[in-house]
């Protein structure tokens, strides 16, 4: 799950100012990491340097920035606005299974999800297979009525199952 943000136009249609409130949305995947600042500036990843350092390219070309803006707009169109996601979670806050609360492995996996661990890392730490981790994560998201790991985390925090 990847977060995407855009200040976008204001409600009266005028362009957003730097102090405007940002809108955040989540998308399941993005084709690449990028930052589109405005219509004339974008930052995209570049191959690592010979020393292994992370590199990026700053683009000022209106034509190239336009291409990345199109990619951003495409991803934005398929994303869920976080405030809508939060509202949906509020309406289903008590998990679908009534009073069910995570114990044992479910609680361990939930804590590790909150820490940003991958399925592979969780499997190593717990001494179980990645398939078992995926099953546990799937079970948690289903019980929380969430469509993604991120939404499951938000719901878990709201239910008090996960400390921020």
pLDDT in single tens digits along all 164 residues of the chain: 444 555 454 444 444 444 445 567 777 777 888 888 877 888 988 888 888 888 899 999 889 898 988 888 888 787 776 654 444 444 444 444 557 787 888 888 888 888 888 899 989 998 999 999 999 999 888 888 888 888 888 888 888 887 76
Burial of 104 (0-12, 13-18, 19+ CB in 10 A): exposed
Are the C-beta atoms of 65 and 59 separated by less than 8 Å? yes
Does the predicted model carry a pTM greater than 0.85?
no
**Nearest by Cα to 138 from 109, 103, 104, 99:** 109
Q: What is the pLDDT of residue 160?
A: 83
Q: How far apart are CA 48 and CA 40, in angstroms?
A: 25
Q: What is the pLDDT of residue 12?
A: 46
Are the C-beta atoms of 39 and 65 separated by less than 8 Å? yes
Q: What is the pLDDT of residue 35?
A: 84
């Amino acid at each position: 799950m990847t977060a995407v943000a855009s200040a976008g136009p204001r409600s009266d249609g005028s362009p957003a100012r730097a102090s405007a409130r940002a809108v955040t949305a989540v998308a399941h995947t993005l084709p690449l990491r990028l930052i589109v600042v405005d219509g004339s500036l974008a930052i995209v990843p570049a191959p690592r340097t010979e020393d292994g350092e992370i590199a990026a390219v700053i683009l000022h070309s209106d034509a190239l920035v336009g291409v990345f803006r199109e990619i951003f707009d495409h991803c934005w169109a398929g994303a869920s606005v976080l405030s809508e996601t939060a509202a949906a979670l509020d309406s289903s806050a008590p998990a679908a299974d009534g009073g069910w609360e995570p114990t044992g492995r479910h609680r361990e996996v939930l804590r590790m999800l909150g820490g940003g661990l991958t399925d592979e890392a969780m499997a190593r730490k717990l001494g179980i297979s990645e398939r078992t981790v995926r099953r546990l994560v799937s079970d948690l998201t289903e019980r929380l009525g969430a469509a993604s790991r991120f939404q499951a985390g938000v719901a878990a925090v709201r239910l008090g199952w996960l400390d921020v």
